[in-house]
């Protein structure tokens, strides 16, 4: 499952949108997320521990416990400590 993630320059998540999900329909109320000055747009895989929250309908609160980080040219969601 992939997610478009809009972040500030520190990687803090501002907004998300599903890109590819076998269990969730494409969101119709948001056509496209676009970045503004000081913001970055990423496409990331949703980690397994976060995918369970989609099924439990708690994703909207859990996603903000993560941030986006780049490691060796790979962008991923990392849980805040």
User: How does residue 78 score in pLDDT terms, banded at 50, 70 and 90?
Assistant: very high
Amino acid 34: pLDDT: 76
Is the Cα dihedral 8, 10, 15, 20 positive or negative?
A: positive
Q: Compute the residue count for the chain.
A: 81
In tens, the pLDDT along 21-77 reads 555 555 554 567 778 899 999 999 999 999 899 889 899 899 999 999 998 889 999
Amino acid 25: pLDDT: 56
Pairwise CA distance, residues 41 & 30, whole Å? 15
Two tokens at 67?
A: 């941030």
């Amino acid at each position: 499952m992939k997610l478009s993630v809009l972040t500030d320059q520190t990687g803090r998540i501002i907004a998300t949108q599903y890109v590819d999900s076998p269990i969730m329909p494409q969101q119709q109320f948001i056509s496209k997320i676009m970045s503004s000055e000081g913001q970055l747009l990423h496409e990331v895989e949703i980690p397994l521990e976060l995918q369970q929250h989609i099924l439990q309908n708690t994703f909207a609160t859990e996603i903000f416990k993560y941030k986006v980080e780049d490691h060796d040219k790979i962008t991923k969601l990392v849980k805040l400590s």
